Amino acid sequence: MYLKELKLLNYRNYDSLHIEVHPKLNIIVGENAQGKTNVIEAIYLCAIGKSFRTNKDQELVKLDKKQAYIKAILEKANGEIEIEMKLDKEEKKKIKVNRIPLIKMGELLGNLNVVIFSPDDLKIIKGGPVERRRFIDNEICQIYPKYYYHLNQYNRILQQRNKLLKDNRGKKIDLDIWNHQLANVGAFIIYNRRKFIKRIGILAKLMHRKITDEIESLEIIYDSSIPVVEKDENNDITEKFLSELKRTCDEEILKKATVVGPHRDDLLIKINNMEVKNYGSQGQQRTAVLSLKMAELEFIKGEVGEYPILLLDDVMSELDTNRQQYLINNLKNIQTFITTTIIEQLKTKEINNRIFYVKKGEIRIKD
Ligand SMILES: Nc1ncnc2c1ncn2[C@@H]1O[C@H](COP(=O)(O)OP(=O)(O)OP(=O)(O)O)[C@@H](O)[C@H]1O
Ligand SMILES: [Mg+2]
């Protein structure tokens, strides 16, 4: 799939923008704070329905305006898709796909697939478990809308269950009904996360081996707070989840919170058997993220049948020449958007591209 056109009205620092983009490589050049990432963010928004920089839609609307509008036209194997989004400082955003208004936000997922790679992604390695769970959840939601609904449901049940634990101030309460709901939905989440990590783990291992000239072996393991094993199906996980809830009952009352479940799970990312988070060099950490991102591209291709769009925000200058070259060589069939402050540093000269120069929310094109 690839983006053909992007239109922005009153979005961030753009009054009005209408660009036709290149089916392969688009390079967005400009000094700091000119509006490069804003373009990437708008594309991401059309895919996921929310920004990767903020949860507050009102921040996306130009400061002195009330409403913003985004339109993206894409080409997919089975035809053209038009995504429109109206953002309002006071109301919920409204989305249309091929002019049909969406009732639930989740309906947007699956129309446009993207993989984003920005310096912030180092958090997948260096940050806390929240970052790694967010990474997994975002990826699965994109290709499996049912997961998105289950995740929302899980968080609602968890919130209510935690509220009961808090309100009861240390007294024993009957949480039986809640436990069953939590375990049922939670097992679905754990099962799918494990499945996803297994697939993406194999792909990332392959990528990593190639990038490091066969020297390093990357391993990604889903580290669950529920003692699941390889062959566990959904209902096995539900049973284990339930018995863990029973086992931790006293601890829960003490801590006034649910202490096991997918909301407490994590990922272990290892290179040559050592955790990258604690033992990896800066370069190894970056390379591990690069391998993960490359794996995501292949994973989505495998699931959806088409490559997603790749958004590279400010990462090229962080990679050494070999890594840049490896990335570029692997992007031949993938529409890519690269932002950079210095175009001379990019090793992309041999590929057909379109260059966009950004200055104060205005774009000039050079073919
Ligand atoms: N809601 C808004 N209304 C008006 N301007 C905004 C709004 N939100 C952000 N901006 C402006 O957008 C600019 C930042 O844009 P962006 O993040 O795209 O910059 P960039 O070109 O990617 O810069 P860098 O190279 O530093 O990453 C800033 O000047 C900021 O003040
Ligand atoms: Mg930026």
Does residue 12 have its Cβ closer than 6 Å to ligand 1? yes
Angstrom distance (rounded) from CA 309 to CA 2: 6
Under DSSP, is residue 354 helix (H, G, I), strand (E, B) or coil? strand
Under DSSP, is residue 286 helix (H, G, I), strand (E, B) or coil? helix
Give the neighbor-by-neighbor strand order of the sheet with 218-223.
218-223, 266-271, 274-275
Strands 353-359 and 362-366: antiparallel
Atom of ligand 1 nearest to the CA of 39: 18
Angstrom distance (rounded) from CA 308 to CA 42: 16
Query: For atom 11 of ligand 1, which residue has the closest CA?
Result: 13
Q: Which of 18-27, 188-197, 203-212, 338-347 has the lowest mean pLDDT?
A: 338-347
Read off the pLDDT of residues 228-253 as tens digits, 9 standing for 90 and up. 999 999 999 999 999 999 999 999 99
Give the residue among 281, 283, 237, 279 at the shortest CA–CA distance from 260.
237
Q: Domains in the chain, please, with CATH?
A: 1-113+307-367 (3.40.50.300), 122-305 (1.20.1050.90)
Angstrom distance (rounded) from CA 38 to CA 335: 18
Does residue 35 have its Cβ closer than 6 Å to ligand 1? yes
Query: For atom 7 of ligand 1, which residue has the closest CA?
Result: 12
Does residue 37 have its Cβ closer than 6 Å to ligand 1? yes
Under DSSP, is residue 22 helix (H, G, I), strand (E, B) or coil? coil
Which two three-digit tokens encode residue 248? Answer: 């931790």
What one-letter code names the amino acid at 340?
T
Angstrom distance (rounded) from CA 309 to CA 112: 8
Q: What is the pLDDT of residue 333?
A: 87
Distance 34 CA to ligand 1 centre (A): 6
Q: What is the pLDDT of residue 324?
A: 86
> Band of the pLDDT at 262, cuts 50, 70, 90?
very high
Query: For atom 13 of ligand 1, which residue has the closest CA?
Result: 33
Alpha-carbon dihedral of residues 143, 147, 149, 152, nearest 10 degrees? -120
**Ligand approaching nearest to the C-alpha of 341:** 1
Q: What are phi and psi of 261, to 5 degrees?
A: 135, 170
Under DSSP, is residue 299 helix (H, G, I), strand (E, B) or coil? helix
Which two three-digit tokens encode residue 213? Answer: 């000239």
Contact 341, 32 (CB under 8 A): yes
Atom of ligand 1 nearest to the CA of 314: 27
Distance 43 CA to ligand 1 centre (A): 15
- The 3-class SS string of 273-292 reads CEEHHHHCCHHHHHHHHHHH
pLDDT at 350 over 70: no
**What's the first-to-final CA gap in the chain, in angstroms?**
22
Atom of ligand 1 nearest to the CA of 64: 3
Read off the pLDDT of residues 86-119 as tens digits, 9 standing for 90 and up. 999 999 999 999 999 999 989 999 999 999 999 9
Q: Ligand 1 pocket check: which of 10, 37, 51, 317 to mutate, most ligand atoms within 8 Å of Cβ?
A: 37
Under DSSP, is residue 257 helix (H, G, I), strand (E, B) or coil? coil
Q: Ligand 1 pocket check: which of 38, 41, 65 to mutate, most ligand atoms within 8 Å of Cβ?
A: 38
Query: For atom 15 of ligand 1, which residue has the closest CA?
Result: 35
Which CA distances in Å does 13 have to 174, 191, 212? 53, 42, 40
**Ligand approaching nearest to the C-alpha of 13:** 1
Q: Which of 103-112, 148-157, 161-170, 193-202 has the lowest mean pLDDT?
A: 161-170
Which positions make up the binding site for ATP? 30-37
C-alpha 158 chain-centroid distance: 23
Stated length of the chain:
367
Query: For atom 29 of ligand 1, which residue has the closest CA?
Result: 33
Does residue 341 have its Cβ closer than 6 Å to ligand 1? yes
Atom of ligand 1 nearest to the CA of 59: 1
Q: What are phi and psi of 306, to 5 degrees?
A: -135, 150
State mean pLDDT over 176-188: 96
